[in-house]
């Protein structure tokens, strides 16, 4: 009886968390698409810094969405562990780990470029 109650409770929770991930990813995608179109139409599409900041922001939202999906997958695999659920959980975890690694690397690179651009003397002496 407890197991049935647990299944009944977990299904809407998993669906709600998946919906949250969908809203995050879809919203970020629409925002990024509209912003890219605006950059192109305004002639500022060649501004590498602006593009880079836009893509980094988009990547952050994707990571957030993947984190929500990972949470839903964790709940699902703990309630009804199957090889398919475990495989999906592993795939999402690996993708999220790689995205986080490259996102953090890009954030550091942009910060260093900003410092070098704002204070050229400080950026030149940095080892």
Residue 126 above 80 pLDDT? no
- Dihedral angle over CA of 50, 51, 52, 53, nearest 10: 50
Q: What is the mean pLDDT of the chain?
A: 84
Q: How far apart are CA 110 and CA 104, in angstroms?
A: 10
Residue 125 pLDDT grade (very low, low, confident, very high; cuts 50, 70, 90): low
**What pLDDT score was predicted for residue 12?**
94
**What pLDDT score was predicted for residue 114?**
73
Domain extent listing, the chain = 2-124
**What pLDDT score was predicted for residue 31?**
97
């Amino acid at each position: 009886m407890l197991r049935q109650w647990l299944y009944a409770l977990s299904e809407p929770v998993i669906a709600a968390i998946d919906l949250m991930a969908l809203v995050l990813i879809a919203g970020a995608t629409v925002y990024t698409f509209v912003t890219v179109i605006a950059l192109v139409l305004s002639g500022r599409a060649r501004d590498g810094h602006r593009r880079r900041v836009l893509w980094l922001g988009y990547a952050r939202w994707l990571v957030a969405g993947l984190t929500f999906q990972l949470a839903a997958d964790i709940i699902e695999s703990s309630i009804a562990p199957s090889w398919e659920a475990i495989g999906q959980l592993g795939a999402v975890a690996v993708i999220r780990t790689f995205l986080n690694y490259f996102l953090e690397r890009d954030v550091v690179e942009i910060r260093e470029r900003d410092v070098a651009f704002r204070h050229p003397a400080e950026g030149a002496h940095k080892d």
